[in-house]
A and B are shown apart, each in its own frame.
Chain A
Amino acid sequence: MEINIEKEIQALKSEYNVFKEGLEKQETLNEKFFKSLRKRPAMAINKEIRDRILGDVVTIPTIIVICIHIDWSLLFGILVSLWALVDLGITLWVSRKLGMNHLLDDDVRTVTGKIAGYRKFYAGSLIAAIVPVTAMFTYIFMRLYAQADNATAVRLITISGIISITVAIVITLWQYKKHVRRCRELLEQFEEK
């Protein structure tokens, strides 16, 4: 049966107004709402950036305390701290460039482009970080090996370390790439075809 789409769309438009009239009026804006604002979760990217900044800030004193108290090389502590500082600088720059506080104010196409760029940047930086991360964990493992008193403990440290690092990198990269792909798919929909 042939359906008259124009007629149906006009019907939809009038029904749409009926629907809007039927929406329940919500009294959500009150003192309680404003008080609970601080407890609300932020947008995923906002939270990611905040967590990353926090991670960098915590890393520096932690690694220095470890180096002083557990007889680890001070050079290692300095290198890790420098790395955390560089990451902190880049994260702050990205956050500023993205304009986190106004991110959603732009039009949908611009916002999608910005988010795709952000994810792509971090996917790239994660790949670039594989070598320093491997070097860092190799050092940590060497120190742990030095403290281990039997072969089983050494094997356990090696296997669990390799598996957890590989899984963490693969999952993060996969998530970033998936998000970039979805943003690209969306950006393609904006094109005039």
Chain B
Amino acid sequence: MNAKEQQFTNIIREHERTIYTVCYMFSSNTDEVNDLYQDILVRLWQGFDTFEGKSDIRTWIYRVSLNYCINFSKRQKKQRERLDLGTGFPSEGRSLEKNLQIKQLYKRINALGLVDRSVVLLWLEGLSYDEIGAILGISVKNVSFKLVRIKEQLKKMSNI
């Protein structure tokens, strides 16, 4: 492995979970998640040479991962709707009731539009509104507006 490959490997090791979490938010099928992960790595590697460092490396990884998963999701729209989302998440060490609760909430999040789902994902990742805006290409005001609306939407869904 040459120096460039080693540098790339180190970056990916550091952000591996980030990429996986994005993949899991767009698919519950383990094989599909692994395929998505591999494809994202390929895209990252292809862009690694020309990554100019204009944005933070984490922002760049989120952008590439989300863009890839959203495009994948658009192509597979019908299949996505049929999947029982949230089943890919580990359930060990949780009570049955809590597990069901979390599953239901993930199901509701996955019923949201692709952009709203991305906003929730990035918010759950603990990113600031500025970072979320930079990744998605929307204003900070729009991020906060969307989060309020998403919470209302989730509440409505839970009442059905």
A101, B136: Cβ atoms closer than 8 Å: no
Tell me the complex Cα distance, A9–B106, Å: 10
Tell me the complex Cα distance, A19–B19, Å: 14
A108, B105: Cβ atoms closer than 8 Å: no
Minimal beta-carbon separation of A186 from chain B (angstroms): 6
Tell me the complex Cα distance, A18–B13, Å: 19
Any A CB within 8 A of the CB of B16: yes
Encoded as 1 (CB less than 8 Å from any A CB) or 0, chain B from 85 to 103 comes to 0000110111000100110
Interface size on A, as a range, is 35 or more
CB neighbours of B63 from chain A (8 A): 104-108
CB neighbours of B82 from chain A (8 A): none
B37, A26: Cβ atoms closer than 8 Å: yes
Any A CB within 8 A of the CB of B64: yes
Partner of A102 from B5, B34, B47, B98 at Cβ < 8 Å: B47
Tell me the complex Cα distance, A51–B42, Å: 20
Interface size on B, as a range, is 35 or more
* Extra pairs beyond A3-B158, A15-B102, A19-B24 (11, CB < 8 Å): A8-B158, A11-B102, A15-B94, A29-B41, A30-B1, A37-B42, A105-B51, A105-B60, A107-B135, A108-B136, A186-B74
* Interface SS of B by simple majority: helix
A43, B43: Cβ atoms closer than 8 Å: yes
A101, B47: Cβ atoms closer than 8 Å: yes
A/B interface sample: 13 pairs, CB < 8 A: A5-B154, A5-B158, A11-B101, A20-B17, A23-B17, A44-B75, A104-B43, A104-B64, A104-B67, A106-B63, A108-B118, A182-B77, A189-B113
Any A CB within 8 A of the CB of B128: no
CB neighbours of A149 from chain B (8 A): none
CB neighbours of B12 from chain A (8 A): 29
Any A CB within 8 A of the CB of B79: no
